[in-house]
Each structure stands twice: as structure tokens, then as C-alpha cells.
Amino acid sequence: MKDSSLIICRCEEVTHEDLINTAKTYKCSARELKLRTRAGMGYCGGRTCRFAIDAILSEITNKETPNTIPLKHQPPVRPISFGGLGGDGE
């Protein structure tokens, strides 16, 4: 038996037990599981836990899960002008 307190998503501190309980309660898709638990929505955008989430969901549903959790897209921290990008702006 797997350790239920094992943290799968380090960024959002989502445990294996959280994922199992949510998936069984709501019969979620991978995307819905992510939205309900916030797994994969932290700083790394699911780069470290996405495959574990898919594997857990596959184990519960006995179906192959598609890779439907998109990577996080984030705008730049500070806006910059096109002139600043080209180096010729004053």
C-alpha cells in the first residue's frame, strides 16, 4: 500500500491521499483533478507532478489518461517596450 501522506505536488502540497479521494469522489478527468486539488498549478506549472497525477488517475479509472494538463503560461513580470527589446529605443 502506498503512503497516503506522500506529497505529489510539492508546490501546492497536494498529497497522494488528496488526489485519490478527490478522483474517487468526483470521478474527475485529469484537468478537473488539477482544478479541484490545485495539483500542478504551482510555481513549476505541473512540470514535476503532471505525470504522477496522470498515473494516479489511470490507476483509479483503469484508463489511459491523455496529457491534458497544459503547462502554465505566465506574462513577463515587468512590461518592456519593443524599443527596449531591440536595444535602439530611447
Domain that holds residue 25: 7-86
Please name the residues in contact with 1: beta carbons below 8 A apart, sequence gap of 6 or more: none
Q: What is the CA radius of gyration of the chain?
A: 18
pTM over 0.85: no
The total number of structural domains in the chain stands at 1
| Higher-pLDDT residue of 87, 36 | 36
In a domain, 44, yes or no: yes
The region, left, alpha or beta by phi > 0 then psi within -120 to 50, assigned to residue 45 is left
- Taking only the tens place, the pLDDT of each residue in 13-44 is 999 999 999 999 999 888 899 899 999 888 88
CATH code assigned at 21: 1.10.10.1100
In a domain, 63, yes or no: yes
Question: Looking at 1-90, which runs of residues are DSSP E strands?
Answer: 7-9, 14-15
Burial category of 25 from C-beta neighbours within 10 Å (exposed 0-12, middle 13-18, buried 19 and up): exposed
In a domain, 1, yes or no: no
In a domain, 60, yes or no: yes
